[in-house]
Each structure stands twice: as C-alpha cells, then as structure tokens.
Structure 1
Amino acid sequence: MRKPNGYGSIKKLSGNRRRPFVFVVTKDGKQKSMGYFCSQVEAEIYAADYNKKNNKILHGYETTFNELFFRWLPFYIDKHQPSKSTINSYHNSYRHCLPIHEMPLKKIKYCHLQDIIDTVKRKGLSYSTCKKIRSTLSLMFKYALMMEYVDKNYVMLLNLGKNKQKRPHKPFTRQKINKLWANLNILEGVDTVLILIYTGMRIGELLNLTKDNIYMRQKYIKITKSKTKSGLRAIPIHDKIFPLIYNRMNIPGKYLISDNTENPYNYSKYRALWNRIMQQINAKHTTHDCRHTCATLLDNAEVNYNAKRRILGHACSDVTNGVYTHKDIR
C-alpha cells in the first residue's frame, strides 16, 4: 500500500550532510521542504504529526504500522539502550513486514501477521529470522496497546513452526584445538580463535573490545558492549591465553583486535580471516561454535552453574542463583 495523496514524501539528500533526510509536501504545484532530519525515524514521525495537524485531505487518518514502528523505536532505544546490532535486527524485521507498512493498525489482523511469517519461511530464511520478526512485532504491539492505538494483540498467537537447524552448532574437538595451538605462530589470527574459545565471548564482543577494558594485573576482561544486558560482565583470563592477550596489548592501537593499520576489524573482514584459518586446520566451524566450545570445556571441568552463566553472559530465571548468589572474579 502507498501513502495517501497529499501526504508528502521523505527524501535522502546526497553528500555528507548532518541532516540528510528532508520531508517535502506539494503546495501550488511545487515541492516545499518542511524540515530536515538526522535520521529517517525523525522524518517519519514529523511527517505523521504534520499530516495529523495540518492536512485536511487526511481527515480520519489512522495510525499505520509504519508510523508505529518509527514512534516505538526511539521510545524503546531511550528506555532500554539496546546494542547497535539489536537495533539493526529491528530494522531488518521491519523490512520483512513491507505488505502491512501502510495498513492502519486497527485493520491488521492475525492473518496479516501470520502471512508475514509464512512468507519468510517460504523464502527459505531461518527459524531465527522468524523469531526476531515475532519479537519485534511483540514489542511494537505492546507499545501500541500502551498508547491505545489498538485494543488487541495477535502476535503471541503466531505459529513459527518447528526449528530445523540447517547446521547445528558443535564445539571444537580437542584435536582441532591442538591444531590451532600448533599453527599459532604460523597463521595470522589463530590467537583470536583461541581467545574466543577460552573466554566464550561473542564475536561482536571481541571485535569491539578496547584495551582499556582489559585488566592484565587482575587478569580479567570487562565486557561493556554486548548483545544483551546479561552480556555486560567480567571474564577471567585463562592462563593459556594470557600470553596471547599480552602480545596483543603490546601492539599499537586502541582495540585489542586490529589490523596492521591499527583499525579494528568489522565482521565481514574478520570472517575472511576466520575462513582462511578454518581451511588450514580442515574444520567447518562458525565463530559462535567457540561459545559452545567454552561452555563444553567449563562443563567438563565441572564448573558450577552460576559461574558458567556469568562467564558466558547468560540470563538466569532462578532468583536464588541470579540474584542472591554472587561470584567474584577470583
């Protein structure tokens, strides 16, 4: 569905501008700029407010799904401070909902929402993608109920089907870990794989890790940027990887993991490095397999539940363990 006639449009201007988004309306046959904005979110909210206040053509205009998203997202960011990757996942989920973007919220029924999930599944996208879409819809419609835009929420009725993993995660075997140690001084970046295995960090946490969050004397790493709130934690530095981190700390640059020009790796650049290492040791692993390996090693060492949870950055639903049990870094 398209916006009504007379609604106006949002354009992104070329060049390096502080406010690249402009909202324009047509008056007397000419387009007039009504405001410039730093983000599309700000422009969409302004456009909705402008039309409700000034445009008689839109008498009886109802809040649309599109408007809900651009009102909910700033509210949610301000209240919960999610990570950049989480915000990006909300935008990706929003794009999958294109067929209902311009639908008034009160006309969106269960069948419309379920059709979005079914379409994503027909395209062959993952179960995880469906879960992210449902999660985004759930947060949006809870906000819509709170703001009294709707009086019903169909999201929790959505059926995602069964989770059929295309490639289940599996830990590194002891033989593969030994191969990594054997190639430590031969292959570039092998130390980063071992650091992931012996800390349980997510790849995003490692790539964003700055040297001022590593405490060599106390032998722990402080995670200040993570996917979840539980991910903000302190991780002890294992004796085996202490020399690896020590060497990285003595390389110039702000970030622990950086290239020869002292610039941090982004995910795509690191993935190329990862693929070369996996090819050399004849393994087919993803970066997330390192967390599974860490969890397995901790379990084999009979580490107690609460310590494992704290190291891996997992949430805990058990009040006794999650609230009243405390573990220091030692």
Structure 2
Amino acid sequence: MKKPNGYGSIKKLSGNRRRPFVFVVSIDGKQKPIEYFTTQVEAEIYQAEYNKKQQKILHGHQITFKELFYRWLPSHIDKYQPAKSTISNYKISFKYCLSLHEMPLKKIKYYHLQDIIDNLKKRGLSYSSCKKVRSLLSLMFKYGIMMEYCDKNYATLLNLGKNKQKRPHKPFTRQKINKLWSNLNTEGVDSILILIYTGMRVGELLNLTKDNIYLRQKYIKITKSKTKSGLRIIPIHEKILPLIISRMKQEPNKYLICEKNGKPYNYSTYCTIWTKIMKQINAKHTTHDCRHTCATLLDNAEANENAKRRILGHATGDVTDTVYTHKNLKQLRKAINKIY
C-alpha cells in the first residue's frame, strides 16, 4: 500500500556509508533529509515516530500492519526494556508476517492471521517459532486497540496445534556421569558437571561472575536469568566444590566459566566445546538435559519438592509454598547433597 502524501520516504544512498538510509520529507516542494540510519528498520521506526509526533495520520489513511509494528516497537522497548535477543525475535516474527505488511489493520481478519501460522507449520517451523509469532501479533494488536487504530485482537484465538518435540530432553545416565568424572582433564567437562549438580541453565552459568560465588558459605547467587523465579541461590554440592575452587583460582578471569584469556564464552562457542565432549563420551545430549538430570536426581533422592523448585528456579506451585514455606540455605544444601 502506498503511503499518503506528506508521510515522507526512506531512501538508500549509494556508496560505502556508515549510515546509508535517509528519511526525507517534502518541504516547499523540495525533499529535505531529516535523519540518517544504519539500517532500514531503524529508519522505519523513526518515520513512524516522526509522523506520530507530527500527527500525520492523514485524512483517509488507514494504519497498516507494517506501520503498527514500527509504532508499537519503540513504545514497547521504552516501556519494558526487553533483551536484545527478544527484540531480534520480534523482528524475525514480523518478517514471517510479510503478507500482512501493507494491509490496513481494520481489514485484517482472523483467517489472515491463522494463515500465517498454518503456512509456518507447513514450512516446518517449530512450535516455538509459531508461538513467538502469535505473541508478537497479540502484543501489536493490544497496542493497536489501546491507540484506537483497530478494535479487535484475533491473535488470542489462533490455533498453534500440538507441541511435538523433535527431540525430547533426557537425563544423563549414571554411566555417562561417571564418564564425565573420569574425563576431568578435558576442557569444559567440569562445567557440565557443575550444570548437572546445580540445575543451572547454561545461560546462567555463562553469565556467572566470581563475585556470585560465596565459597565460605558454599553457595552460588544467580543474578541473571530468563525468569524472575530464576534469580536464586544454589548450594554448592560437595562433589563439585573442588571444581569451582579450581575455577576461582584462575586469574585474572572475571567470569567463572571462560576462555583462557578471560573472555566469557558466548552460547555458540560453548556449544562447540559441548559437542566435542559429547563425542568423547559417546553421548547425544543438549545443554538443557543437565537441568533434567538434576531434577531427576533430586526426584530419585526424594528431595523436598519445595526445595527442588527453589534450586532449579521454578515458579512455586501454590500460595502456601510461596507465603508460608521458607527454605533456608541449610535446608537447600540438605536437598542438593542427597544426590550423588
């Protein structure tokens, strides 16, 4: 759909420029550059905000899906401060909705949105990807209703089908755990054992600094996690205490798990090390299997359910658990040391 007169346009300039995209508006019959940008997405967001401030939703013009996205995104970022990975997921999900981009909001019906989901499933995209698209649609249309650009949010009615895991998570067997212990000289093996005996997510481990380790009290403090419940303390199991002490002695590293030069691992680099170790012990596991292993070991040891949830960073099941039961470090340590 063509934008209305006076809405401005985005152009890509020739040559090797640091900011090749420019937003221009017509003033007295001449095009005047307003701002320059590194990417077209940044320019689109600015264009939407510029016209919003100038109140340039012109007579007869209907807000399109694309315009809604570039109006909603900066507002959402400003209000909720989502992580960079979350913003990246929003942009990817938006691209999946290409057939809607130029459609006026008020003409978008339920079947248009369901077609997006159905086509993604036909292309073989995962349940998780479809769920992210639905989440984006819901957030956008809620914003659209609030701003009176539209009056319905069909996203809440979308059917994603059943979540069929391509590869269900499975815990490490005792044999594989023993193999890890017998290969401690291999780079990264200690980190896998730390994951198994703490139940940490791999992202939590890679973000762990030495300031988060309390050796005297023998616990780890998680300060960065994907969920609010993930912010917690984890007692250090007796078996992995020597591994953590050894990592703490490595200088001048800020992070507990990092490269020899002190640089922290990103997820991709760590997965390379992980894959090599899995080949060495002849196993097929994902990093998330460590959490399942910890949960399984706690179950097998008949650890207190409340303590188990707090160690793993799961949300509590009911109000009684949250309000009336307070597990101190001593009780959490008793639970974790039940596993061997």
Q: TM bucket by the smaller chain?
A: 0.7 to 0.9
Aligned partners of 2:142 and 2:167: how far apart in 1?
A: 34
User: Which residues of 2 match residues 262-301 of structure 1 at below 5 A?
Assistant: 262-301=262-301
* Cα separation, partners in 2 of 1:321 and 1:54, compared to 1, 3 Å: closer
Alignment-derived partner of residue 177 in structure 1: 177
Q: State the match for 1:198 in structure 2.
A: 197
Give the distance between the partners of 1:326 and 1:111, measured in 2 at CA: 49
1:154-200 C-alpha deviation (Å, 9 max, x unpaired): 11211111222111111111111111001012x11001111111111
Contact preservation (8 Å) 1:83, 1:226: no
Task: Name the counterpart of 1:34.
Answer: 34
Match in the other structure for 2:153: 153
Deviation at 1:22, TM superposition (A): 4.2
Name which one, 1 or 2, has greater alpha-carbon Rg. 2
The answer for the alignment partner of 2:213 in structure 1 is 214
**Equivalent residue, structure 2, for 1:310:** 310
Alignment-derived partner of residue 10 in structure 2:
9
Q: Distance in 2 between matches of 1:218 and 1:286?
A: 31
Rounded to whole Å, the distance in 1 between the matches of 2:73 and 2:112 is: 21
Structure 1's 11 and 217: CA in aligned 2 closer, same or farther, altered over 3 A? farther
Q: CA deviation at 1:214?
A: 1.6
Is the partner of 1:143 in helix, strand or coil? helix
Deviation at 1:55, TM superposition (A): 9.4
Question: How far does residue 117 in structure 1 lie from its aligned partner after superposition?
Answer: 0.9
Q: Which moved more, 1:253-262 or 1:146-155?
A: 146-155
Instruction: For 1:198, give the aligned amino acid.
Output: Y
Distance 1:134 1:118 in 2: 12
The change in CA–CA distance for 1:53 and 1:213 in structure 2 (over 3 A counts) is: closer
User: 42-51 or 310-319, which moves further after superposition?
Assistant: 42-51
Provide Cα deviations, 1:245-285, integer angstroms capped at 9, x if missing partner: 11111112111111122111111111110000000000000
Q: Give the SS at the match of 1:170.
A: coil
Partner SS state of residue 199, structure 1: coil
Rounded to whole Å, the distance in 2 between the matches of 1:308 and 1:14 is 56
What amino acid is aligned across from residue 245 of structure 2 in structure 1?
A: Y
Number of residue pairs matched by the alignment: 327
1:133: which partner in 2? 133
- Equivalent-residue separation in structure 2 for 1:317 and 1:3 (angstroms): 51
Please name the residue that 2:334 is paired with. none
**Structure 1 residues 89 and 52, CA gap change in structure 2 (3 angstroms):** closer
- The CA distance in 2 between the partners of 1:254 and 1:92, in whole Å, is 33
CA distance in 2 between counterparts of 1:173 and 1:66 reads: 50
**SS at 1:35 equivalent:** strand
In structure 1, distance between residues paired with 2:234 and 2:74 = 32
CA distance, structure 1, for counterparts of residue 113 and residue 90 of structure 2: 16
Equivalent pairs: percent with the same residue?
73
For 1:70 and 1:225, the matched residues in 2 are separated by 29
Could you say which residue in structure 2 is the equivalent of 1:109?
109
Q: State the shift of 1:295 in Å.
A: 1.0
- Give the unaligned 5+ runs of structure 2: 331-340
